[in-house]
């Protein structure tokens, strides 16, 4: 039951369900909402209109009204005042929304008929009792521009008759469809319809904007890491597809954090083990070498003396290996702080080569040193820079003894002065009788990075060249 409830909950909060709801609403919007809105509009209009609306069809055709008015004026050419008044009363009862009046040949206003409502805005406010010629001309000239619209016709439909003129005034709003509230009702209908369309568009925009915001938040959490270079957990939202993705991301972050902690603990344990083992091995190796030195003074056979020399050499190599292992452990753990100072590295190179000179002579190496150049100043730690040179020279003695050559020089490459250490051995890829070459070069690489120096190794089957250079300008 719990599983079914969980599935129902996931479906109800699914993005797919929300998107399908929007699509179905869009499909039903035009064929359902539009007819429904028309029906609601008609119901509201019928409930609120009260009295029957004004029949505007009588005023929809101005040309027909003008033609009718001129015909009436033509028929009233020889009519008496009473007949004219009676006819205008008859027309006023038909055209109930208009104002009618007529002026006789002497310019006297005889009759004014207004709508039943008595709205003064429907009456031309400039109807005088006695008309002058100027007033009559101005009124006739401006009749088409007035509101209400004025239709003027001379009695007998001609000026020469001298019988005066008759006027019918029509409110301009009667000339538009939807008079008496129709325009306002339609405006409200269009406003509601526009509001419905706008609401649908707004809901869609907010739906996809919220999805985009949550995805961008998740993307940011995936790409931006903290000081420990690990991503941080994020706050989860609704239990939909994105919410479940956020939960999975937080689970992954928790596992990575736990794995990182285990890795750091194991690394710390390994470093302590290497450090303790290095210290523990030094003492017995020193004792063994001292006893070997004592045994060399005994009267031994040449073969015994040779065995003792080989043992002493191997123990010395083992001591160097342990020293490299301890140094690498200290450097990699950050327990050693280098003190960089402005030093002439060529002077350090000469002093180190001088210290190794007897070793190379003993091993019958051809020594080629060319360091007669201007001083070369770099920011280095003197002690550890000497350690770099010692490791490189030691590798030559151990692994390039077949070439019996060591070369130390400087040259210019790409506008920079570089240090060259060369041998004629079998190359770094060739097998060696000694172990630990990888550890020694790893220490060299770590020290180079700490001193912000760079180095490159060019190795072939006929020799190896180590190039040391400063990527920054010479100091």
Give per-residue pLDDT as tens, 311-339.
777 777 666 666 766 666 666 666 667 78
Residue with the bigger pLDDT between 379 and 297: it is: 379
Q: Which helix (H) or strand (E) holds 149?
A: strand 149-154
Summary count for the chain: helices (H), strands (E)? 12, 11
Please report which confidence band the pLDDT of residue 118 belongs to, taking 50, 70 and 90 as the band edges: very low
Residue 333 tokens, joined: 């753990």
Full strand arrangement of the beta sheet holding 366-370: 366-370, 405-413, 416-423, 463-469, 454-460
Where is average pLDDT lowest: 31-45, 357-371, 385-399? 31-45
Terminal Cα distance for the chain, rounded:
77
Q: Got the DSSP string for 162-221?
A: -S-EEEEEE-GGGGSSSTTTHHHHHHHHHHHHHHHHHHHHHHHHHHHHHHHHHHHHHHHH
Q: Judge whether residue 475 has pLDDT over 90.
A: no
What pLDDT score does 333 carry?
66
Average pLDDT value for the chain: 76
Rounded CA separation 431/54 (Å):
112
Range list of β-strands (E), 338-433: 341-344, 366-370, 377-380, 405-413, 416-423
325-to-129, 319, 381 alpha-carbon distances in Å? 126, 10, 20
Q: Judge whether residue 31 has pLDDT over 90.
A: no
Q: Judge whether residue 407 has pLDDT over 90.
A: yes
Residues, the chain, total? 475
Residue 154 tokens, joined: 């001379």
Share of the chain above pLDDT 90, in %: 7
pLDDT mean over 108-117: 79
Q: Got the DSSP string for 73-110?
A: HHHTTT--HHHHHHHHHHHHHHSTT-EEEEE-TTSBEE
What pLDDT score does 6 carry?
47
pLDDT mean over 148-172: 82
Under 8 Å between Cβ of 423 and 405: yes
Residue with the bigger pLDDT between 163 and 389: it is: 389
What pLDDT score does 467 carry?
92
Residue 232 tokens, joined: 């941080």
Q: Write the pLDDT tens digit of every residue in 209-226.
A: 888 888 888 888 778 777
pTM of the model: 0.43
pLDDT mean over 143-160: 77
Under 8 Å between Cβ of 221 and 232: yes
> By three-state DSSP, how is residue 419 classified?
strand
What pLDDT score does 330 carry?
66
User: Sign of the C-alpha dihedral, residues 217, 218, 224, 228?
Assistant: positive
Of 475, 12, 6, the closest CA to residue 240 belongs to 12
What lies within 8 Å, CB to CB, of 72 at 6+ separation is: 87, 91, 153, 166
Q: Write the pLDDT tens digit of every residue in 268-298.
A: 766 666 666 666 666 676 767 676 777 777 7
pLDDT mean over 442-452: 85
Q: Judge whether residue 158 has pLDDT over 80.
A: no
Rounded CA separation 30/25 (Å):
9
Of 348, 334, 414, 424, the closest CA to residue 386 belongs to 348
What lies within 8 Å, CB to CB, of 350 at 6+ separation is: 369, 371
Q: Which residue has the tokens 């209109």?
A: 49
What pLDDT score does 383 carry?
84
Q: Judge whether residue 54 has pLDDT over 60.
A: no
Q: Write the pLDDT tens digit of every residue in 413-435.
A: 888 899 999 998 887 766 655 55
What pLDDT score does 466 carry?
92
Residue with the bigger pLDDT between 70 and 274: it is: 70
Using a 10 angstrom Cβ sphere, with 0-12 exposed, 13-18 middle and 19 or more buried, the burial of residue 219 is: exposed
What pLDDT score does 299 carry?
78
Where is average pLDDT lowest: 17-26, 197-206, 367-376? 17-26
User: Sign of the C-alpha dihedral, residues 152, 158, 164, 166?
Assistant: negative
> By three-state DSSP, how is residue 369 classified?
strand
What pLDDT score does 329 carry?
67
Residue 373 tokens, joined: 């150049």
Please report which confidence band the pLDDT of residue 34 belongs to, taking 50, 70 and 90 as the band edges: low
Backbone angles phi, psi at 343, to 5 degrees: -130, 150
Using a 10 angstrom Cβ sphere, with 0-12 exposed, 13-18 middle and 19 or more buried, the burial of residue 391 is: buried
Residue 135 half-sphere exposure toward CB, CA atoms < 13 A: 13
């Amino acid at each position: 039951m719990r599983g079914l409830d969980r599935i129902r909950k996931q479906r109800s909060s699914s993005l797919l369900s929300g998107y399908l709801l929007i699509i179905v609403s869009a499909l039903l919007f035009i064929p359902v909402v539009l007819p429904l809105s028309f029906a609601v509009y008609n119901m509201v209009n019928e409930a609120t209109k009260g009295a029957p609306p004004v029949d505007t069809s009588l005023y929809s055709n101005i040309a027909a009204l003008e033609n009718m008015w001129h015909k009436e004026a033509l028929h009233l050419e020889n009519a008496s005042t009473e007949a004219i008044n009676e006819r205008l009363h008859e027309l006023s009862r038909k055209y109930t929304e208009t104002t009618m009046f007529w002026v006789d040949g002497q310019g006297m206003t005889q009759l004014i008929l207004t709508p039943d409502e008595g709205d003064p805005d429907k009456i031309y406010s400039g109807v005088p009792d006695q008309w002058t010629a100027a007033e009559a001309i101005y009124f006739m000239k401006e009749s088409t521009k007035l509101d209400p619209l004025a239709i003027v016709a001379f009695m007998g439909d001609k000026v020469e008759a001298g019988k005066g003129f008759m006027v019918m005034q029509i409110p301009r709003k009667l000339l538009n469809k939807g008079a008496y509230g129709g325009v306002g009702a339609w405006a409200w209908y269009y406003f509601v319809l526009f509001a419905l369309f706008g609401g649908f568009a707004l809901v869609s925009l907010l739906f996809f904007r919220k999805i985009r915001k949550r995805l961008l938040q998740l993307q940011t959490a995936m790409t931006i890491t903290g000081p420990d270079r690990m991503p941080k957990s994020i706050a989860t939202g609704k239990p939909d597809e994105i919410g479940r993705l956020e939960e999975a991301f937080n689970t992954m972050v928790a596992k990575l954090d736990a794995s990182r902690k285990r890795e750091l603990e194991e690394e710390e344990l390994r470093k302590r083990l290497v450090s303790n083992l290095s210290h523990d091995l030094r003492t017995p190796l020193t004792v063994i070498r001292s006893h070997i030195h004592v045994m060399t003074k005994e009267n031994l056979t040449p073969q015994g003396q040779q065995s003792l020399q080989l043992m002493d050499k191997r123990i010395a190599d083992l001591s160097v290996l342990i020293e490299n292992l301890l140094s690498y452990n200290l450097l990699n753990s950050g327990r050693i702080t280098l003190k960089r100072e402005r030093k002439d590295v060529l002077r350090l190179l000469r002093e180190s080569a001088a210290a190794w000179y007897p070793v190379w002579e003993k091993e019958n190496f051809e020594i080629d040193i060319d360091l007669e150049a201007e001083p070369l100043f770099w920011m280095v730690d003197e002690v550890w820079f000497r350690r770099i040179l010692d490791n490189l020279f030691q590798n030559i003695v151990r692994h390039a003894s077949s070439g019996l050559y060591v070369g130390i020089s400087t040259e210019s490459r790409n506008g920079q002065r570089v240090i060259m250490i060369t041998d004629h051995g079998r190359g770094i890829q060739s097998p060696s009788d000694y172990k630990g070459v990888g550890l020694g070069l790893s220490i060299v690489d770590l020290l180079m990075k700490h001193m912000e120096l760079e180095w490159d190794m060019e190795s072939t089957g006929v020799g190896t060249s180590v190039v040391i250079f400063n990527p920054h300008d010479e100091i």
